Amino acid sequence: MNPRRLPLFYGIAGAWFALVACVAISQAHAQAARAAPETLQVLDEPGRISTEEVVITDGPYARQMVFFRSNEAPGTLVIHTSERFLYIVQGNNRALRYGIGVGREGFQWSGLVQVSRKGEWPDWRPPPEMIARQPYLPRFMAGGPGNPMGARALYLGSTVFRIHGTNQPETIGHAISSGCFRLANGDIIDLYERVPVGTKVVVRHGASL
């Protein structure tokens, strides 16, 4: 190469590598921004008041009727933890969809259960594992607007897991719980009225049926 052209060559090469580095950094930041909502590091807030009227009204987590292909019978609840949605199958490839909060990494699960009982303004007894992680939590808290269990609860089989409301509606769409599924209080009240005891509940990690 002509020595007189070396400065030009290195100048172009340096600019090229700088551009590539900037693109890589931008992509990394974009990926981080997309990943950030996946797990929200927010602890429970017993005593924080959230009324029963709170609903998610905007965005993808608002309650809405959607296209949903499924072989499950109408009335079945299908939960997709990776999508952060709960569906009530309606038939004719339709379902009523609710935005939910799900278990954080290490606390997600899948399986087939039934709604074993229902409760209005349920009491809260944090399990020992949760108290070990958050020792400031009360050992028992009566139901009410300041209870992290929210306005209603659907108990899932003989497990410790529930579908319940929350006094932290901003956590809907995030992975935050210890395995339960949470809805805004207005949405859990709506769901509660539609779902009888004995309803089949299918919990899946992905969207495929």
Residue 116 belongs to some domain of the structure: yes
Residue 133 vs residues 44, 95, 136, 156, 178: alpha-carbon distances, Å: 11, 37, 9, 23, 11
Q: Mark whether 127 and 183 lie in a shared domain.
A: yes
Residue 180 annotated as catalytic? yes
Q: Mark whether 129 and 196 lie in a shared domain.
A: yes
* Mean pLDDT, the chain, whole residue set: 79
Cα separation, 204 vs 136, whole angstroms = 32
Q: Mark whether 102 and 30 lie in a shared domain.
A: no
Q: Mark whether 30 and 121 lie in a shared domain.
A: no
Summarize pLDDT for 54-75 with one digit per residue, the tens: 788 889 999 999 999 999 999 9
Nearest to 176 by CA among 129, 106, 93: 106
Residue 168 belongs to some domain of the structure: yes
Number of compact structural domains in the chain? 2
Q: Mark whether 146 and 74 lie in a shared domain.
A: yes
Q: What angle do CA 60, 63, 65 make, to 5 degrees?
A: 95
Q: Mark whether 93 and 8 lie in a shared domain.
A: no
Query: Catalytic one among 29, 174, 180, 205?
Result: 180
Q: Mark whether 137 and 189 lie in a shared domain.
A: yes
Residue 174 annotated as catalytic? no
Residue 10 belongs to some domain of the structure: yes
Range of the domain at 32: 3-36
Name the most confidently modeled range: 42-46, 195-199, 204-208.
Answer: 195-199
Q: Which residue has the higher pLDDT, 77 or 133?
A: 77
Summarize pLDDT for 98-131 with one digit per residue, the tens: 999 998 876 788 999 999 999 999 998 887 877 8
Stated length of the chain: 209
Indicate the Cα dihedral angle 139, 142, 145, 151, nearest 10°. Answer: 100
